[in-house]
Amino acid sequence: MIKFIMNLFQKKKQVTVDEILKHPDGKRYYKEIHNLRKSMMDEDALKIIHRLNRFGHKSYLVGGCIRDMLLDRKPKDFDVVTTATPNQIKNVFNNCRIIGKRFKIVHILFKGKVIEVSTFRSLPEHRTNQELLEEKKEILLKRDNKYGTPIEDAARRDFTVNALYYDPRNESIIDYVGGYEDIKNRILRVIGDPSISFKEDPVRMLRAVKISVLLGLTIEKKTKEAIYQNRAELAKASPSRMLEEYNKIFRTWESAKIFKGLAENYLFEILFKEVAELDKNYKGQNAGKYFYETKVGKLLQIADRKLKEREELTSSIFYVLLFSDIVERKIKSESGKLIQIIKSALEPICSRMEIPRREKTRLVKIYASQPRFLKTNEKNKSQNDIFRSKDYFYDAFLYFKILAEVEQNEAALQSAFFWEISARIRPSKPLHKGNSLNAKISKNSSRKKSKHKEVLNPPSNTNPKNKEEKIDQTKIQDIADSNLRNTIEEFDV
């Protein structure tokens, strides 16, 4: 009782930024120690840094590009961080635009490319104020526009491997958090208290699994424990951000491995609880061990293989694969109109995940069209041609084929062979008014229209080892604008 009363009046210890950092003064690794050189960096990113420095704004390369090069991987993009605010950056560069609500960043446009420039941010106040942390019932970060110093910016980042700065002036790496050592030891570690970090941004748990799988890193013990303890926080994450993360995962060619990692860390049963309820192998401590034996595990493995074989798989196909068990069981257990059964099966999970209505409609069409592939009568050529002309035919066919391979259904595989040749040509999609990317390109193209295809396989000259070499969806519009400014006639995503 006395101890309890003393605790009430005892002043709470305040945490300083230095206590969060492993190297508060910033440990510099010069070029004699590492092999990163200016010649390896993006020339336009270096131009941005040089120009900002000339205007008195300290600037570095930051994050994934430094991490990837230290792991001998080709970076998918080069990001810049600076002391300049978004408005100050805009005053320095004419070819840029400010984007973002949660945190404003600047996209600087070049021919066929966008360089992302952000301002150093400060730590959330509750990170250094213990009393405030205890008073706050909710520490989810909804807006994060408070600017800070390089030290504070390093302390507030997600993982140590993502918090390294590269100074091109002397080709040195600046490390405040021990990220350089963690990369060398292939460890993924959260900066600061993992539980606080995951409550601030639950999406970090999903990213931790994705990064560890793709880069071959081991999740540090405290981080792994915090993922388990805070996994329910994922329900608070922004649905739009979650969908964006899923779409990035679908593009990696390693979706099966990543979803296996999610199952191992008890996240699959939270993220796709409607699916997990149908099979005990999706849940519990053995979920990762048996994931490849589940229906979803088998489907995703074949989908990844087809991406590597140069097939075009859209995000719609992956959602169809993930929700396959839900729909199939509903169809088997209920009688009535097929379309209505499929809609009722998809409604709960699509509503919870806030999948757009247009995407949901496409999923319904893909599921509903499956029986049609078993009808292979060549005499009905006109009807077959009408079916082939549907904009969802290609996705529906690939789902039919993948499902036939998983189930080893010989009759379905024979039917798939009948439709194989026609499925190679994806029907052109009509131009929608709401599609600003297609609208702008179509308007500015004098010779021919550009087709916007959201496909998940990279260009043919891409090395399969570099699976992250994709352009983020948030940059597509900026790249289009950049190309239009340079009088590019056609732009294919």
**pLDDT tens digit sequence for 30-41:** 999 999 999 999
Residue 122 half-sphere exposure toward CB, CA atoms < 13 A: 10
Taking the whole predicted model, whether its pTM rises above 0.85 is answered as: no
Range of the domain at 442: 430-493
Query: Confidence band (pLDDT; 50, 70, 90) for 52?
Result: very high
In a domain, 316, yes or no: no
Question: Does residue 287 contact residue 338 with C-beta atoms inside 8 Å?
Answer: no
Among 152, 187, 222, residue at a domain's last position: 187
Strand-by-strand arrangement of the 79-82 sheet = 27-29, 172-175, 165-167, 59-62, 79-82, 113-119, 105-110, 96-99
Q: Which helix (H) or strand (E) holds 61?
A: strand 59-62
Domain holding 41: CATH number? 3.30.460.10
Contact 308, 253 (CB under 8 A): yes
- Is residue 249 in a domain? no
Buried b (16+ CB within 10 A) or exposed e, 423-432: beebeeeeee
Mean pLDDT of the chain: 84
For residue 283, the model assigns a pLDDT of 87
On whether residue 349 sits in a domain, the answer given is no
pLDDT value at position 299? Answer: 97
Residue by residue, DSSP assigns 301-329 as: HHHHHHHHTT----HHHHHHHHTHHHHHH
290: left (phi over 0), alpha (psi -120 to 50) or beta: alpha
Residue 398 burial (CB count, 10 A): 24
Among 164, 187, 210, the domain boundary falls at 187
Whole-angstrom Cα distance, residue 19 to residue 200? 19
Among the residues of 39-178, which ranges form H helices? Answer: 43-54, 64-70, 86-92, 130-135, 150-156
Tell me: the pLDDT tens digits for 196-253?
A: 999 989 999 999 999 999 999 999 999 999 999 999 999 999 999 999 999 999 999 9
**pLDDT score for 465:** 45
Q: What is the pLDDT of residue 103?
A: 79
At 300-330, the pLDDT tens digits run 999 999 999 988 999 999 999 999 999 999 9
Q: 122, 156, 187: which is the final residue of a domain?
A: 187
Give the whole-angstrom CA distance, residue 254 versus residue 334.
35
Q: What Å distances lie between residue 404 and 88, 307, 324, 370, 415, CA to CA?
A: 57, 17, 13, 11, 10
Would 74 be classed as within a structural domain? yes
Q: Is the pLDDT of residue 287 over 90?
A: no
Indicate whether 93 belongs to any domain: yes
Q: Please give the DSSP secondary-structure letter assigned to residue 11.
A: P
Q: For helices 338-353 and 239-250, what crossing angle results, to 10°?
A: 110
Burial label for 221, CB within 10 Å (0-12, 13-18, 19+), is exposed
- Whether residue 327 is contained in a domain is answered as no
* Rounded Cα distance, 320 and 323, in Å: 5
Residue 181 confidence (pLDDT) above 90: yes
| Distance in angstroms (rounded) separating the CA atoms of residues 178 and 346 | 45
Q: Quick check: is 361 in a domain?
A: no
- Which residue did the predictor score with more confidence, 487 or 284? 284
Residues 64 and 162 sit within 8 Å (Cβ to Cβ): yes
Confirm whether 483 is domain-assigned: yes
User: CA-CA distance, 269 to 290, in Å (whole number)?
Assistant: 14
Mean pLDDT is lowest, of 74-88, 210-224, 237-251, 370-384, for: 370-384
Other Cβ atoms within 10 Å of 453 Cβ, number: 12
Quick one: pLDDT at residue 444? 44
- How much is the pLDDT for 461? 45
Tokens of 437: 């990317």
Entry field: residues in the chain:
493
Domain count of the fold of the chain: 2
Q: Which residues pair with 27 in a beta bridge?
A: 175
